[in-house]
């Protein structure tokens, strides 16, 4: 064999091996915060890290997670248990900042008076509790979203996205920020303009050497057809002009994840820099939402452009099981605050659920968990009897839900789609005494099956005339949630003795 032929074959084999290794690496990347956790912002306090993310229309608002290593996270709180008076919804893109021994959260929400998205600010002496709202800090044009704060040699600046709802190019705008962190000062200026208009938001700024590096997200952020990615520009002046990186995008899809974007940076005590951002899993997409991902930022020695090195969480179970023995409900429960006001309490190993619903909400009160995968089973046991519906539901919003429950002396399998509620199937109870256990199995093909029993271990499937697709469930910017369901008059309630959410 000629040496040239041998070299060619060897080179081909090495390329194939390298490609295979690359694909395996990409396919083994796991989120550090699984489930819907879009637009994350991260901060370090000593040797602990705190992360906050978008909550959109779920309450409580802006979930907060804590970690000792940035790969194992546990939820510890929320910014707001109750929506600030000026807001109506769309709680997006919170930004952490620490200044003057105070924790600031600059967040986006819709103003109640005109439904326009602006930026508010809240403060606390703690990173994960006790936040006090100070109202709107940035009211600008038809929309001001995605705040980011930067300290340039003692001068605070705040930046944001503007003109996203206008016909003109989107821009990242900036302004000086007062020492209190609560007021804008001076004239607004433009850092970067979106020409041609492809998208520009979710900015974060770092200084390295002589340059300010502006990291931003471009493209369509959300939904099955998203094409989000992270790009870089740099300038020797904070206000610009900024030079675009010729090899953009710097962080984009791989074999398993797509639409990477909208993150912030944090430095470790050892001097490494990490980027916490979100991405969709290609298999489950909107059913698990934009999940919390991690990448290390690598700086070349020649003052060149930085590179992202994607990280992966360790293998761990995301199963959630609760026997309701604690004094208070688990912190991870959320609900659609626009359409229901739940009343939740735990007593003697039972969770009691009731509450009021908005007119036209046929789904009732749904107390939900964030799914970490599209394929899962959830189950519960209902221990009380009345004429209210008590059971399980997969909930997108008040007009897109599916569930199974016990009502009176029967089991009911129901769906809400296109503003219509239909009963898919019923079955009579076999005992007037025994508790009723219920189960929903969500499949990887976006269908679901429901089961019930009054004899432990003997599940009975309740079928409908056709296989039930749940592809209609996801709203635009958030994943459907799985959880407990109550629908009845205010003096009724559902009482549950257990809840399990396990992944296949």
Mean of per-residue pLDDT scores for the chain? 93
The fraction of the chain above a pLDDT of 90, given in percent, is 89
Q: How confident is the model at residue 504 (pLDDT cuts 50, 70, 90)?
A: confident
Architecture of the domain spanning 320-503: Sandwich (2.60)
Q: Identify the weakest region by mean pLDDT among 7-21, 80-94, 316-330.
A: 7-21
Locate all alpha helices (DSSP H) within 99-246, ordered by sequence. none
Render pLDDT for 331-372 as a digit per residue (tens, 0 to 9): 999 999 999 999 999 999 999 999 999 999 999 999 999 999
Find, among 276, 308, 285, the residue nearest to 71 by Cα. 276
Residue limits of CATH 2.115.10.20 in the chain: 31-310
Secondary structure class of 9 (helix, strand, coil):
helix
User: How far, in Å, CA of 405 to CA of 450, rounded?
Assistant: 10
The fraction of the chain above a pLDDT of 70, given in percent, is 95
User: How far, in Å, CA of 16 to CA of 34, rounded?
Assistant: 32
Average pLDDT over residues 218-233: 96
pLDDT at 81 over 70: yes
User: How far, in Å, CA of 123 to CA of 100, rounded?
Assistant: 11
pLDDT for position 8: 38
Average pLDDT over residues 315-339: 96
The neighbour count for residue 358, using CB atoms within 10 Å, is 12
pLDDT for position 327: 94
pLDDT for position 13: 38
pLDDT at 38 over 60: yes
Render pLDDT for 114-152 as a digit per residue (tens, 0 to 9): 999 999 999 999 999 999 999 999 999 999 999 999 999
pLDDT for position 10: 42
The neighbour count for residue 224, using CB atoms within 10 Å, is 11
Q: How confident is the model at residue 11 (pLDDT cuts 50, 70, 90)?
A: very low
Render pLDDT for 47-56 as a digit per residue (tens, 0 to 9): 999 999 999 9
More confident of the two residues 160 and 19: 160
User: How far, in Å, CA of 228 to CA of 162, rounded?
Assistant: 18
Lateral strand order in the sheet of 41-45: 41-45, 48-52, 61-67, 73-80
pLDDT at 22 over 80: no
Phi–psi pair at 361, nearest 5 degrees:
-85, 100
Structural tokens at position 158 = 């705040």
pLDDT for position 6: 40
Whether the CB-CB separation of 279 and 36 falls below 8 Å is answered with: no
pLDDT for position 303: 81
Residue limits of CATH 2.60.120.200 in the chain: 320-503
pLDDT at 187 over 50: yes
Q: Which residues are catalytic?
A: 39, 201
Render pLDDT for 85-115 as a digit per residue (tens, 0 to 9): 999 999 999 999 999 999 999 999 999 999 9
Average pLDDT over residues 466-482: 90
pLDDT at 443 over 90: yes
* Helix H or strand E encompassing 11: helix 3-27
Find, among 111, 126, 117, 146, the residue nearest to 41 by Cα. 146
User: How far, in Å, CA of 308 to CA of 298, rounded?
Assistant: 6
CATH of 31-310, one of 2.115.10.20, 3.30.1360.120, 3.40.50.2300, 3.40.30.10: 2.115.10.20
Q: How confident is the model at residue 466 (pLDDT cuts 50, 70, 90)?
A: confident
* Residues in contact with 277: Cβ distance below 8 Å, sequence separation at least 6, in sequence order: 40, 230, 251, 260, 261, 262, 263, 292, 293, 294, 295
pLDDT at 4 over 60: no
Whether the CB-CB separation of 415 and 422 falls below 8 Å is answered with: yes
């Amino acid at each position: 064999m000629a040496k040239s032929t041998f070299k060619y074959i060897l080179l081909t084999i090495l390329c194939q091996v390298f490609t295979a290794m690359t694909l395996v690496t990409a396919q083994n990347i796991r989120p550090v915060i699984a489930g819907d956790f879009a637009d994350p912002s991260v901060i370090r306090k000593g040797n602990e890290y705190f992360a906050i993310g978008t909550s959109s229309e779920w309450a409580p608002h802006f979930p907060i997670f804590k970690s000792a290593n940035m790969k194992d996270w546990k939820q510890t709180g929320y910014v707001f248990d109750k929506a600030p008076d000026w807001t109506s919804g769309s709680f997006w893109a919170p930004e952490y900042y620490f200044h003057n021994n105070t924790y600031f959260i600059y967040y986006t929400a819709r103003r109640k008076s005109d439904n326009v998205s602006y930026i508010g600010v809240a403060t606390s002496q703690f990173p994960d509790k006790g936040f006090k709202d100070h109202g709107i800090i940035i009211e600008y044009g038809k929309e001001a979203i995605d705040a980011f704060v930067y300290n340039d040699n003692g001068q605070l600046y705040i930046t944001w996205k503007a003109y996203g709802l206008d016909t003109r190019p989107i821009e990242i705008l900036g302004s000086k920020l007062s020492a209190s962190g609560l007021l804008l000062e001076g004239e607004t200026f433009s850092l970067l303009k979106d020409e041609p208009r492809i998208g520009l938001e979710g900015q974060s700024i770092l200084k390295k050497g002589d340059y300010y590096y502006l990291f931003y997200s471009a493209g369509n952020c959300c939904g099955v057809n998203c094409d989000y990615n992270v790009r870089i520009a740099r300038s020797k002046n904070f206000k610009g002009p900024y030079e675009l990186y010729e090899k953009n995008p710097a962080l984009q899809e791989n074999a398993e994840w797509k639409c990477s974007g909208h993150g912030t940076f944090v430095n470790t005590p050892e001097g490494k820099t990490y980027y916490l951002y979100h991405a969709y899993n290609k298999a489950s997409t909107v059913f698990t939402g934009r999940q919390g991902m991690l990448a290390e930022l690598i700086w070349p020695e020649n003052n060149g452009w930085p590179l992202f090195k994607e990280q992966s969480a360790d293998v761990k179970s995301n199963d959630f099981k609760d026997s309701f023995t604690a004094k208070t409900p688990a912190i991870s429960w959320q609900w659609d605050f626009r359409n229901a006001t739940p009343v939740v309490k735990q007593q003697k190993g039972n969770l009691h659920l009731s509450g009021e619903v908005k007119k036209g909400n046929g789904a009732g009160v749904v107390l939900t968990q964030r799914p970490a995968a599209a394929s899962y089973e959830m189950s519960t046991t209902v221990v009380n009897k009345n004429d209210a519906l008590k059971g399980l539901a997969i909930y997108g919003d008040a007009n897109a839900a599916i569930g199974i429950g016990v009502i009176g002396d029967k089991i009911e399998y129901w769906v809400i789609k296109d503003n219509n509620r239909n009963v898919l199937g019923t079955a009579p109870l076999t005992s007037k005494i025994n508790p009723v256990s219920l189960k929903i199995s969500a499949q990887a093909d976006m269908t679901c099956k429901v089961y019930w029993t009054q004899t432990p271990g003997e599940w009975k499937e309740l079928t409908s005339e056709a296989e039930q697709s749940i592809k209609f469930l996801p709203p635009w910017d958030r994943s459907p949630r799985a959880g407990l369901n109550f629908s009845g008059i205010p003096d009724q309630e559902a009482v549950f003795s257990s809840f399990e959410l396990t992944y296949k």
